[in-house]
Amino acid sequence: MEEIIISSKFSAYNSINELPNEIQNLFERAMGAQKNAYAPYSKFRVGVALTLDNGEIILGTNQENAAYPSGLCAERVALYQAASNFPESKILKIVITAAPEATGIPSPIPPCGSCRQSIAEYEIKQETPIEIYFMGEKGKIYKSASLKNLLPLLFNKKLL
């Protein structure tokens, strides 16, 4: 038997004020979008802002549906909108903010597994890393230099 150790490295910021102005702006946009999330069932609102290499900023919110699992996470709403409207552009950065309506979560909330796999598809396609920043309603912010850092053993088309 062989033991394999896989590690991930994140940058942690204590507040939005420690981030570069560009990322602060993206978080402000994501928090604004989060208010528009359609989350009548989970009461868990997520907002996303992503930047493309052409300068466009794309927003996304989670969209729930009574016919579960017909809803869609905020990350995938933004990703698919970016790919549909700007198919030749590369995704540079994604910022995610999330919180339940009733209570504030001070710890960073990363993308779910389905969203990680969806982000991986675009990172592999564009052959450049996508920076991912995520936070709860308040508190620390984590930055991952790439999706592969969040999902080191990712499934991709080479495995098909």
Residues annotated as catalytic are 75
Residue 72 parent element (H or E): none
What DSSP designation does 48 have?
E
Give the residue among 78, 85, 91, 74 at the shortest CA–CA distance from 34: 74
Question: For the chain, how are helix, strand and coil distributed in percent, rounded to 5?
Answer: 30, 25, 45
Please state, in angstroms and rounded to a whole number, the distance separating the CA atoms of residues 60 and 76.
Answer: 8
| Half-sphere exposure of residue 34: CA atoms within 13 angstroms, side-chain side | 22
